[in-house]
Amino acid sequence: MAKQKLKFAFYWAASCGGCEIAVLDINEKILDVVQVADIVFWPVAMDIKYKDVENMPDKYIDVCFFNGGIRNSEQEHMAKLLRQKSKILVAYGACAHLGGVPGLANLHNKKEIFEKVYVQTFSTHNPNGVFPQPKVQVKEGVLEIPEFYDTVRTLDQTVEVDYYVPGCPPAVERTVFALEAIAKGELPPKGSVLAPLKSVCDECAKKKENKKISRIYRVYEKTPDPERCLLEQGIICMGPATRGGCGARCLKADMPCTGCGGPCPNAPEQGAAMISALASILGLEEEKEKYTEEEVEKLIDQIKDPVGTFYMYGLPASILRRKVMRS
Amino acid sequence: MSETQKDFEPKIVGFLCNWCAYAGADLAGVSRIQYPPNIRVIRVMCSGRIDPAFILEALKNGADGVLVAGCHLPSDCHYLSGNFKALRRVMLLKKVLKDFGIEPERVRLEWVSASEGDKFAAVVRDMVEQIKKLGPNPLKMEAKK
Amino acid sequence: MANGKVGAVLVVGGGVAGIQAALDLADSGFKVYMVDESPSIGGVMAQLDKTFPTNDCSMCILAPKLVAAGRHPNISLITNSEVLGLSGEAGNFEVKIRKRSRYINEEKCNGCGLCAQKCPVEAIDTYNKGLTDRSAVYVEFPQAVPLRYKIDREKCIGCKTCQEVCKANAVEYDQKDSEITLKVGAVILAPGFEPFDARLKSEYGYGRYANVVTSIEFERILSASGPYGGIVLRPSDGEIPRKIAFVQCVGSRDAQLGNLYCSAACCMYSIKEAIIAKEHVPTKLDCTIFYMDIRAYGKEFDAYYKRAQEEYGIRFVRSRVASITEDPATGNLFVHYVGEDETPRVEEFDMVVLSTGMQPPKNVEKLAKALGIKLNKYKFCETGAFTPLETSKPGVFVCGAFSSPKDIPESVAQASGAAAKAMAIIAPERGKLVAVKEYPPERDVSQEEPRIGVFICHCGINIGGIVRVPEVVEYAKTLPNVVYAEDNLYTCSDDTQKRIREKIKEYNLNRVVVASCTPRTHEPLFRETVREAGLNPYLFEMANIRDQCSWVHMHEPDAATEKAKDLVRSVVAKARLLKPLKNPTVNVTPAALVIGGGVAGMTAALELANQGFEVHLVEREKELGGHLRKIYYLLEGEDPQDHLQKLVKAVMENRLIHVYLGAEVVEVSGFVGNFKSKIRLNNGEEKQVEHGVVIVATGAVEYKPKEYLYGVDPRVLTQHELEEKIAKGRFNARKVVMIQCVGARNEERPNCARICCGQAIKNALKIKELDPDAEVYILYKDVRSYGFKEEYYREAANKGVIFINYSDDRKPKVSNEGGKLKVSFYEPVLKQEIQIQPDIVVLSAATIPNPDNKRIAEMLKVPLTKDGFFLEAHMKLRPVDFQTDGVFLCGMAHSPKYIDESIAQACAAAARAATILSKKVLEMEGIVAKVDEDLCSGCKICESLCPYGAIEMLEKEGKTVAHVIEALCKGCGVCGTACPTKAIVLGHFTTEEILAQVRAIMREMEVAAK
């Protein structure tokens, strides 16, 4: 029976582009996709203008895979537009899902970032302090570029999102899972993250003995025993607080999980969950853990760049979302 | 600023363990020790139950300060070492808060025993003073923007 | 009462010992009447600030026990009362009690305290030892149990103000004393002690000089709830002292007063007070302790003593203080003493603390007469070395300081031990006099929308006088899911309980909130009420608008009212999410495994068998007896070998006790109530046994010295070897040198081995008995003959045994010079090196942990101390429990101790075990952690954290998941808070519930969304 083909769209907002490649990483499966779907919008691969999208009827697109967070007016516009034109909007990848690495910009604001990029970087020569302006009057008329925002937002902080595919970028099996579910019409309830419920630990083959640590090592400081859980060896691994579905692929390469899968379903504050877990076991090694407050301070001080560690992908999705700026 | 420093009355959320700190607050009551009415107490069985997420949630919802109080170190904890867990969690969280631009002093960890009614009152008094100096929770101001 | 026995016990005295005995009895199915002369229970421990050697807050650890005793359905508190007489016999006594009038109706008074607030009279506060005032109508201290007021008619002026203000109509000026008669099967005496009246030691000026205080007064001064709020101040002028002297042995070790005994606890409490004082005084404080011997003989005590010297810089001066005089101009005190160089000295201090000893309780002769028991010459209760818990009258037992001065853990151990003794007498009556309550079937509310009823208490005018309660009621009605709200004069009163039950029916409520006082005291009452109305008891929540609102914001009614609304809103938000919880239950195998067949293990086994429980007793050696086999005589004169034989016979003949000799426990699995263990028998076979509890009684061993030529020269012996020589008639030396603290109190083993001083004195006296002209020298660091053992020290000195002190930097030397033994040491009085050529040298070798402890500790998952002895659950209040439920310890496995102490602990372990074995089913607290296996990813973080070993990792469908052993979970929530996926949820304190409270608190006004 000739079933009508689905209409897919892909879009790339505030992200690195890795998610676009991730779509292609499914290799020959892409052919299956083309069997069931037509791609009606994909700026990185096809020449279709925003105007063309605007002209589509509402809900014309069956599924839109949206990667990247929202940090300027253009991205916000497209998020709203694609929401309007799509039956299903999928936040694809960590940036759309949680803000992603670009979300760490929330430790600064527009002013600070512009200062850094347009004045302070070594390669920049900008004696007049020229900064990008959203609107500039030139001879030919008004030139417009998107407005840069103070805060990076996740896709669902901008528009309603139907499904999430986690990962930076999403693992092949996640993408395949999503596509198959769509193709078969077997999608879970709206709002679901298309990944297993358990954390990365569940998929990690490393041996777990006991989680009692007192010394923290950064990755370059130690060659870990490849057989044993990295966290137990003092290397901070976000795996315990990170939703699995990636096959623990970083761990297979003996690198700790950095948390791109986002939070587990019952612990929506991924950073806080790991802060609590790590602080709980840090210092357990000693007899009865009876440290003085000063000693505890030293233990804690071993953790460098805590926000970068605990919120590498999830700062905009965290409870506090961003740094408070005083200016 | 809509609230001037002068008439700013901080709102403080207090997480108190049942066996020591909450008992200390009770003793402050029984002894009629007066302290400012700025604190709202949530009882947990052990300071080891206090999740950093609770503190973040309180701050996000506009608490100007959060008090975490448990049994004295090293050995008063009714559950042996829950207080040590609280200590490490709060210390790590405070470090993170600093990076979030929130004054770590807004979150205060205290050890109050069941016989320290006066200490509980003094802690609240002191905390209210200190937070008045710090001003309202910046997140609240941001939300109003 | 088939055999005429009564399943009830009378406990006389409501201090920590009495409370422990009462709780153990009540928890194992007996009715308890607890009589105390004071209006409330708690005893001396309630007055202490901190406790040694852990510096735990005394009230913090005692208060839960007070509350437990106060609300235990099997314990009746008869306070403000005295025992008049006892008739009948063991198993069936009749006891007459006089209840002195409180002038306040105990049934009606709800402890709100308004009367005391309005009372115009200032009376002496005995709790604070007269350092502050209280009113004529009073409770002794704020945490008093029962919290019922009393009128001090000596001070009362009869103004009737209290009667007017009492909303409960509890004041009865014309109340009379009354007499009651009770039937009990056994009696336990725990009347405690009376601190020595320091006035009798007039040369120290107590009572004349304001700045000379007793140690109990100083405890109050240190306490945050004391007269100066925990700031150390001098009574004369309120100045912060900079120099404090502690004078030891005031009223103890004093021939002049006739108090020859040592009070056993004062050295340690003075060290503690000095440490705490230094912590409390913000400026520099010098503390000096004047002592004769520092008797830090208990578990981990020497380590504490060492810290006091090294960490806190407390100065110790070995000298008996001669007198104290005062400089009337400054209130400062001059302490006159003879220095260690034998020259008289005077030193000025700002304050002096007298370490007063323990005396028998007041009116002890009257009590002894009423009960028909014998007292010893100091008027303490008479007991025997093998019967430390028995009085001269069968069926009447004793514990705590009444039988000899002792500290808290020993009193607690004796208390449990006495409970075991009482249980054995009336074992068949177990469960017959205790009420079993029937509840209506529980309503299933899982499909219902929350329907919350809110009850708000005026507490007389305690709340209502400040907080506008009706306004809070109206506010509560606007909150989502609240379908009913009302105010009550006293929500805790009986008629309100009835009303709450009616309203639950009428409005089909499925959640109840009470806004009143503290859940710490009142939550159990209200949970009971909702349970009686067919609701799960956990569908209840409380807001504390008295202790946290009206009482602490008395001058801010508006703010207090707003705060009350916030607190009610927060608690209603939680109530909305409350879920019913089931109390987990476990079946109990009524049998015990006792590891170790020495005196402790055998005693514990017999005590349990006497109560009808099966026992598996495992001994590694080929015969029973352990250490006791090497003891041939005692200081007190009784015959240990005779006792040993009787004990072994009793054990071997008891059909409930299975003895395994030459056997070893090789595996223990399971948990409280349900253990399965493997015993490797002497023929190499393994036998599996099932049991509900484990008692560890693995004993200890004598240190084999490496020093002082031991093992090199056959004339160098240990005390045990000497004892054997004497007992077997092979002793013939005429000149003996004994060296104390061999293998103890050194770098490797910092703690005291406790029994060697007594052993040395015992053997020295025996030598003198054999040959009065024999020369015996004892080289010691401190002579630690605590309690009544002090007498024998004195006797030895009188008989010519020469005691010479040595210090660590000048240890004695033993050498062999041309075939002759030579001991050289420094004589501190003569200030010179002395050499002796003794016939033999006897080393007081330490008692050290059984080397097998480590293996057993790992097998049972229980901890050891740094020294290698087993570490109990709490050094003060749980001396024979482990943190792991169902596992107990006793005897020298705990630390070195004398036989009577081992026996008391063994009985204690049996009583504690009986609280479990006496139940068919153990019901646990419903607030426990639960694992959602769909979310648990097997990271094992929780397993590493749980201090109770309540988390095990299970393999399920090829995956590792955590599992909570509910029987072991205490509900602290540490695991779930650490759980990075939040797969672990703590019932009644779920993340959702707490976050709902946080959000509700911070919401200015919640819009009614009904």
Average pLDDT of the residues in A28-51: 89
Cβ distance C943 to A210 less than 8 Å, yes or no, reads: yes
pLDDT by residue (tens digit) across C387-426?
Answer: 999 999 999 999 999 999 999 999 999 999 999 999 999 9
Q: Is the pLDDT of residue C1009 over 50?
A: no
Find, in chain A, the residue whose alpha carbon is nearest to that of C937: A202
Mean pLDDT, to the nearest integer, of C619-637? 95
Query: A277–C980: do the CB atoms touch at under 8 Å?
Result: yes
Question: Could you say which of B34, B40, B63 has the minimum Cβ distance to residue C567?
Answer: B40
pLDDT in tens, C873-884: 888 999 999 988
pLDDT at B129 over 80: yes
Look up residue C763 and give its amino acid. Answer: N
Q: What is the pLDDT of residues C270-326, one digit of tens each?
A: 999 999 999 888 889 999 999 999 999 999 999 999 999 999 999 999 999 999 999
Across residues C846-871, what is the average pLDDT? 91
pLDDT at res. C61:
80
Specify the pLDDT at position C342. Answer: 83
Q: What percent of chain C has pLDDT over 70?
A: 99
A271, B96: Cβ pair inside 8 Å? yes
Is ipTM strictly over 0.95? yes
Structure confidence at residue C866 as a pLDDT band (50, 70, 90): confident
- Measured between alpha carbons, how far is C113 from C460 in angstroms, rounded to an integer? 10
- Closest chain B residue by Cα to residue A299: B88
Mean pLDDT score, C653-678 = 96
Kindly state the average pLDDT of the residues C327-346.
Answer: 93
Tokens of C696: 């560890």
Reading the block at residue C811, the tokens are 């240890």
Q: Which two tokens stand for residue C941?
A: 């973080």
| Interface test mutation site (partner B, options A270, A320, A321, A322, max chain B beta carbons within 10 A) | A320
Strand partners, C289: C246, C316
Beta-carbon separation of B49 and C60 below 8 A: no
Q: Touching A: which chains, 3+ CB pairs < 8 A? A: B, C
- Considering only alpha carbons, which residue of chain B is nearest residue C226? B115
Can you tell me the mean pLDDT for C59-68? 82
Flag whether residue C954 sits within 8 Å of chain B, measured between CB atoms: no
Is A241 close to C944, i.e. CB distance below 8 A? no
pLDDT at position C230 is 82
Q: Please, what is the Cα angle at A103 between A101 and A106, to 5 degrees?
A: 135
Nearest alpha carbon to residue C255 among C378, C356, C403, C361: C378
DSSP C476-501: HHTSTTEEEEEEES-TTSHHHHHHHH
| CA distance to partner chain C, nearest, from residue A42 (Å) | 36
Å from A54 to nearest chain B CA? 32
For residue A277, give both structure tokens: 């877990």
d(CA A96, CA C764): 86
Separation of alpha carbons B70 and B79, rounded Å: 11
A262 interface with C at CB cutoff 8 Å: no
Phi, psi of C264 (to 5 degrees): 70, -30
Per DSSP, helices labelled H in C74-192 are 114-118, 161-165
Q: Which of C935, C944, C983 sits opposite A284 (nearest CB)?
A: C944
Which residue from A52, A57, A29, A32 is spatially nearest to A42, judged by alpha carbons? A52
B75-87 pLDDT per residue, tens? 788 898 899 999 9
- What are A130's two structure tokens? 């020229």
Of residues C405 and C225, more confidently modeled = C405
Encoded tokens for C768: 């003198």
For residue B91, list chain A residues with Cβ-Cβ distance below 8 A.
279, 296-297, 300
- According to the model, what pLDDT value does residue C963 have? 97
Q: C973 and B119: CB-CB below 8 Å?
A: no
| Beta strand C700-702 pairing with C847-849 | antiparallel
**Would the CA dihedral through A148, A152, A156, A161 be positive or negative?**
positive
The pair of three-digit structure tokens given for residue A160, joined into one six-digit string: 């309603």
C-alpha separations of A279 from A297, B106, C729 in Å: 11, 20, 65
User: Residue type at C166?
Assistant: C
Contact flag B81-A288 (C-beta cutoff 8 Å): yes
Task: Say which of B57, B81, B116 has its CB closest to residue C995.
Answer: B57
Which of C940, C960, C991 is facing A210, going by the closest CB pair? C940
pLDDT at C1 over 50: no
Task: State the virtual CA torsion across B115, B116, B121, B125 in degrees, nearest 10.
Answer: -170
Nearest CA in chain A to B62: A320
Cβ separation of A290 and B57 shorter than 8 Å?
no
Task: Write the single-letter amino acid at A63.
Answer: V
Residue numbers in B near C549 (CB within 8 A) = 37
CA-nearest residue to B121 within chain C is C552
B1: confidence class by pLDDT, cuts 50, 70, 90: very low
- If one compares C648 and C127, the residue with the highest pLDDT of the two is C648
Average pLDDT for B16-35 = 92
pLDDT, residue B6, reads 63
Confidence of residue C862 (pLDDT cuts 50, 70, 90): confident
Whether the per-residue pLDDT at C927 is higher than 50: the answer is: yes
* Number of neighbouring beta carbons within 10 Å of residue C448: 12
Asked whether the beta carbons of residue B91 and residue A300 sit closer than 8 angstroms, the reply is yes
Neighbours of chain B (3+ CB pairs under 8 A): A, C
pLDDT tens by residue, C364-386: 999 999 999 999 999 999 999 99
- Take residue C45 and report the two structure tokens written for it: 């421990």
Whether C261 contacts C405, CB under 8 Å: yes
- Closest to A240 (Cβ–Cβ): which among C939, C943, C959? C939
> B51 Cβ partners below 8 Å, 6+ apart?
A272, A276, B89, C977, C991, C994
Copy the structure tokens of residue C180: 């009651």
Q: Check residue C565 and give its pLDDT.
A: 97
* Residue of C941, C981, C982 with shortest CB distance to A281: C941
Tell me: the pLDDT tens digits for A140-180? 999 999 999 999 999 999 999 999 999 999 999 999 999 99
Q: Does B62 touch chain A (CB under 8 A)?
A: no
Q: What is the pLDDT of residue C634?
A: 96
Going by C-beta distance under 8 Å and a sequence separation of 6 or more, which residues neighbour residue C757? C297, C740, C780, C783, C784, C785, C789, C793, C844
Q: Do C224 and B118 touch (CB under 8 A)?
A: yes
**Contacting residues of A for B59, CB less than 8 Å apart:** 320
- pLDDT of residue A2 exceeding 70: no
Q: Per-residue pLDDT tens for C547-558? A: 999 999 999 999
Domains in chain C, CATH or no CATH each: 1-100+178-193+360-436 (3.50.50.60), 103-123+136-176 (3.30.70.20), 196-358 (3.50.50.60), 452-575 (3.40.50), 587-699+850-919 (3.50.50.60), 702-802+839-848 (no CATH), 929-986 (3.30.70.20)
Tell me the average pLDDT across C878-906: 95
Chain B CB contacts of C974 below 8 Å: 46, 48-49, 79, 82, 85
In chain C, which among 943-982 make CB contacts under 8 A with chain A? Answer: 943-945, 959-960, 974, 977-982
Residue C608 pLDDT level (bands cut at 50, 70, 90): very high
Nearest to A279 among B56, B89, B102 (CB): B89
Minimum CA–CA partner of A289 in chain C: C945
Q: Write down the pLDDT at residue C143.
A: 78
The whole-angstrom distance between B64's CA and the closest CA on chain C is: 10
Q: Would an 8 Å CB–CB cutoff place C307 in contact with chain B?
A: no
Question: Which residues neighbour C640 within 8 Å (Cβ) at sequence distance 6 or greater?
Answer: C628, C631, C632, C633, C634, C899
Q: What is the pLDDT of residue A287?
A: 52
Phi, psi of C676 (to 5 degrees): -130, 125
Element (H, E) at C244: strand C243-250
C266 near C260, Cβ under 8 Å? Answer: no
Interface of C with B in 201-260 (CB under 8 A): 223-225, 229-230
Burial category of B130 from C-beta neighbours within 10 Å (exposed 0-12, middle 13-18, buried 19 and up): middle
A103 to chain B, any CB pair closer than 8 A? The answer is no
A-chain residues near B101 (CB < 8 A): 323-326
Give pLDDT tens digits for A230-259: 999 999 999 999 999 999 999 999 999 999
**Is the pLDDT score of B142 beyond 70?**
no
- Chain B residue nearest residue C979, CA to CA: B51
The chain B residue lying nearest C566, using CA atoms, is: B40
For residue A34, pLDDT beyond 90: no
For residue C981, list chain A residues with Cβ-Cβ distance below 8 A. Answer: 198-199, 240-241, 264, 266-267, 273
Residues of chain C in contact with residue B25, where contact means CB-CB under 8 angstroms, are: 547-548
How far CA C82 is from CA of A273, C41, C418, C638, C927, in Å, comes to: 58, 13, 20, 35, 40
**Side chain identity, residue C556:** E
Q: Quick check: A280 and C938 CB within 8 A?
A: no
- The least confident of A266-275, C162-171, C750-759, C781-790 is C162-171
Cα–Cα nearest to C40, from C143, C152, C146: C146
Query: What's residue C1004's pLDDT?
Result: 61
Range in A45-49, B43-47, C30-34, C813-817 with the lowest mean pLDDT? A45-49
Name the pLDDT band for A289 (thresholds 50, 70, 90): low
Q: Which stretches of C533-598 are DSSP H helices?
A: 557-577
pLDDT at C514 over 50: yes
